[in-house]
Structure 1
Amino acid sequence: MPIPAPNLYPPFNIIRLSHVDFGVTDLAASKAFYVDTLGLQITDEDANTVYLRAMEERGHHCMVLHKSPEAHVKALSFKVYDEAELDKAHAWFAAQGHAVAWVTRPYQGRTLATTDCFGMPVEFYFQMKRLEPIHQKYALYKGVKPLRIDHFNCFSPDVDKAVGFYNQIGFRVTEYTEDEDSKRLWAAWTHRKGGVHDLAFTNGTGPRLHHTAFWVPTPLNIIDLCDLMATTGYVANIERGPGRHGISNAFFLYILDPDGHRIEIYCSDYQTVDPDLEAIKWDLKDPQRQTLWGAPAPRSWFEHGSVFEGLEPVASTLGASPIIAP
């Protein structure tokens, strides 16, 4: 199935992804992982919640950790262009038959909670509390020196359906993998902010969150993180990499937090600002699509993901599979 033409005039204007809210079973362990090891900065915390931001970010948080009996993802959040866009988003989702609600979130203005075509919880806001810049406070740079949240990747039981839905609200495809036998999409990378992706979709049981990615300054920061994790009790949490993707051309490392939420550490992809930029097609059987160089992805990378709170994932009907490491 061909990818849709870019929708340059969507019903409301999403600027970029914003933040993720994780349910974690041991708040102290998660805090130690994200703050002491990765280097995210605490912007507020109490006995049940920790708010975090990366070094270049001015918004109050890019990640929320909340204590929970079970690990899950509460929602994926996106920032819109201005306050009026929230009302447009509310009207559009309601007209499509999706549940819509205005919800209160700490440090945010009016926030719209709704769901996508698979019931995945998504939220939209315009205003978030601004913090002073810290990107030149180099004494604070720790761990992998995370600069900003970069993207989400989600398991989808029907990637064609996911791409079609998000195309309606302005997400443009930059690269995609097509199964040549069925002519269906196996994966797709879509963006709003002008990078390779804000939101990607991978074929599999879903919806589930495959990973959340953070942009770091250089590949050497990733190597330093490997050394740090290997000597501070986290060597088993290194799942895949380091290596370089064919898709996106990015240098990568995949790690798991104490609850198994997958984090990608990421740098060196390219800009996609031009609205008429042609998408790049990859064959599912091309081994360099997922790994330009480096070891092939392990089976866990294709099967393990984080569930969304209160949402039961369903199996994909596309059985095609890329190369998997033994």
Structure 2
Amino acid sequence: MPVPAPNLYPDFNTIRLSHVCLNVSDLAASRTFYTDMFGLQVTDTSDSHVYLRALEERGHHSVILQKSDQPGTVEVMGFKTYDEADLDKAEVYFKSKGRPTSWVERPYQGRTLLTSDNMGIPLEFYHKMDRLAPIHQEYARYHGVRPLRIDHFNCFSNNVDESVAFYNDFGFRVTEYTEDEESGKLWAAWMHRKGGVHDMAFTNGKGPRMHHLAFWVANPLHIIDLLDVMATTGYVENIERGPGRHGISNAFFLYILDPDGHRIEIYSSDYQTVDPDHEPLKWDLKDPQRQTLWGAPAPRSWFEHGTEFVGAEVKEPALNATPIIAP
């Protein structure tokens, strides 16, 4: 299936990804991981939730840690719309696609539409979130990997072609993709709204599951600093893959796992994709520089481990194709 032509005039306008709610078993342990070690900033806490933002973010939160009896799952992924009217347009749109819709109350957010994509990934859309004072020049706060902003989500999809078609229809544009030459089907695709390489990506596999969420950092050396911190503070086993540089996206990367198995990518050095006629780049699944321009190949866990979404049925992938896996 060819990559669809971009829909430059979608039914409603999504600006960017915004936030994710992760279900955790031990709220104190997760808070320590994300703040003391990783470097996110606490914006509010309760007995059941910790709200976090990165150093450049003005919105109240980009990560919500939620104490749950379903730890290691994802509650919802959030996106910001251009204006309030887009929320009503989004409700009409998702209803027309046969997706469930409801208006939900979320702390620190205005009107919020809860729905799901074609695979059942829970999505919420909002326009207004409480705005906080800037802290990007409060350099005493900078520690860990110095995360500046949330960058993207990557999800396992049991049918990448169908996922791409669904998100393309409401305005997400493909920047790079991997095609299985034998079948002509997509094995993975990277899609954006904000003008980077991706806000949402899909990888062939048992899905839907979250493969990772990613944070953008200014300097690859901060990733090296984080590795030193993790290796000496009890988190060496949480280092999964990297550092290295991707062929796709050109990003310098590191993948780590939080205490409940949620995968986080630390990400730097991708490129701009603002132009509406930006042409997507095609990669062959068997190209070893696709996933790793340089560095060790990805371990098997990177292709098999993911965290499930609450309420979404996980299905086996339709495409049986194998990338290069480290021995």
Quickly name the TM-score band, shorter chain normalised.
over 0.9
Amino acid at match of 1:108: Q
Q: Is 1:27 aligned to 2:34, yes or no? A: no
CA distance in 2, matches of 1:100, 1:70: 23
Match of 2:66 in 1: 66
Tell me the CA shift for residue 312 of structure 1: 2.3
Match of 1:192 in 2: 193
Tell me the CA shift for residue 257 of structure 1: 0.1
Match of 1:309 in 2: 310
Pairwise mapping of residues 209-224 of structure 1 onto structure 2 (< 5 A)?
Answer: 209-224=210-225
Q: Is 1:265 aligned to 2:271, yes or no? A: no
How many corresponding residue pairs? 326
The answer to whether the Cα contact below 8 Å between 2:120 and 2:313 also exists between their aligned partners in 1 is: no
Match of 2:150 in 1: 149
Q: Deviations over 1:205-237 (max 9, x none)?
A: 000000000001100000000000000000010
Amino acid at match of 2:74: V
Pairwise mapping of residues 1-326 of structure 1 onto structure 2 (< 5 A)?
Answer: 1-71=1-71, 72-326=73-327
CA distance in 2, matches of 1:167, 1:221: 34
CA distance in 1, matches of 2:120, 2:239: 31
Tell me the CA shift for residue 150 of structure 1: 0.1
Unaligned runs of 5+ in 2: none
CA distance in 1, matches of 2:197, 2:311: 30
Amino acid at match of 1:68: S
CA distance in 1, matches of 2:313, 2:230: 33
CA distance in 2, matches of 1:193, 1:311: 27
Amino acid at match of 2:305: H
Amino acid at match of 2:314: P
Tell me the CA shift for residue 310 of structure 1: 2.1
Moved over 2 A (4+): none
SS at match of 2:114: strand
Amino acid at match of 1:228: V
CA distance in 2, matches of 1:250, 1:120: 26
Tell me the CA shift for residue 247 of structure 1: 0.1
The answer to whether the Cα contact below 8 Å between 2:119 and 2:312 also exists between their aligned partners in 1 is: no
CA distance in 2, matches of 1:94, 1:317: 26
CA distance in 2, matches of 1:111, 1:206: 25
Unaligned runs of 5+ in 1: none
Amino acid at match of 1:270: Y
CA distance in 2, matches of 1:273, 1:255: 29
CA distance in 1, matches of 2:97, 2:156: 23
State percent identity of aligned pairs: 71
SS at match of 1:29: helix
CA distance in 2, matches of 1:154, 1:282: 19
Q: Deviations over 1:160-191 (max 9, x none)?
A: 00000000000000000000000000000000
SS at match of 1:9: coil
Amino acid at match of 1:281: K
CA distance in 1, matches of 2:78, 2:124: 5
Amino acid at match of 1:27: L
Calculate the aligned-residue CA RMSD, in Å: 0.5
